[in-house]
Amino acid sequence: MVENFPMRLDHVSYVTSHDQLADTVQRLGARLGSTFVDGGIHPRFGTRNFTAALKNGQYIEVVCPLDHPATEQTPWGKAVSAKAREGGGWFTWVFSTKDIAPIESKFGRNALEGHRTRPNGSDLQWKQIGVLEIAETREFPFFIQWLTSDHPSQDGTPLSEIEKIVIADKDQLADSWFKDEILAGLGDTTIEWIDPSDNDGESGIVAVHLSTPNGAIVLD
């Protein structure tokens, strides 16, 4: 039940290649009217990200694979690398919880610990689970528990807000163990479900609608 392990929409993740990282961050930042912050390297996963703070304690992550041994040795690194080879774009959505243990129990395995060191030297730490599944079912989110008090939504001034996420999934999360918890954790964000046949047969996030200081925008 929802009350056993409440969760909330934490962030949405957009993949690009390493050589396109600067251009992607500049392009999305210009649309948002916000500046992306260098989030640093994920040494355990072989990836790097930039983040833009959003309202409601949320953020957008732009992530790219690195030329690093861990990139092809971990589920997250491999999934990001595969998406980058496909040309990049929206990759996944992530829900945070204060206690990941019930989710671990459902998956039947322990969450993987991760961290990244910001350019200022501060270290963010978390546990994550569900990345194995999103490699094949990109319409599903994965789950995170932050282990440090800092949060990427505090990096910068949040000016924009996620209003709607468009997701290609003909079953509308019917196969997810956590459908009720996910829908309850959306807050004021709505989901528009479309059939994958309307998205070149691909499931997953198609677009994110946001309200910004410059008006409503769609990032696709």
User: What domains appear along the chain, each with residue ranges and CATH number?
Assistant: 2-158 (3.10.180.10)
Across the range 189-206, mean pLDDT stands at: 95
Residues 6+ apart with CB under 8 A from 34: 52, 53, 156, 157, 159, 160, 212
DSSP code of 156? S
Structure-derived torsion over alpha carbons of residues 56, 58, 60, 61, reported in degrees to the nearest 10: 170
d(CA 31, CA 56): 19
Among residues 150, 141, 145, the alpha carbon closest in space to that of 37 is found at 150
Tokens representing residue 34 in the block? 């916000």
d(CA 4, CA 217): 35
Calculate the CA 196 to chain-centre distance: 20
**β 204-212/161-168 pair status:** antiparallel
Determine the residue type at 116. R
Order the strands of the 161-168 sheet from edge to edge: 190-194, 161-168, 204-212, 215-219
d(CA 94, CA 63): 14
Among residues 181, 179, 204, 177, the alpha carbon closest in space to that of 193 is found at 204
Average pLDDT along the chain: 93
Look at residue 67 and tell me whether its pLDDT is greater than 50.
Answer: yes
- DSSP bridge partners of 47: 42, 65
- Tens of pLDDT, residues 89-122: 999 999 999 999 999 999 999 999 999 988 888 8
Calculate the CA 89 to chain-centre distance: 12
- The pLDDT score that the predictor gives to residue 2 is 36
Tokens representing residue 87 in the block? 């040309």
What pTM does this model have?
0.94
**β 161-168/190-194 pair status:** parallel
Among residues 126, 124, 123, 96, the alpha carbon closest in space to that of 111 is found at 126
- The pLDDT score that the predictor gives to residue 5 is 63
- The pLDDT score that the predictor gives to residue 69 is 87
- The pLDDT score that the predictor gives to residue 176 is 87
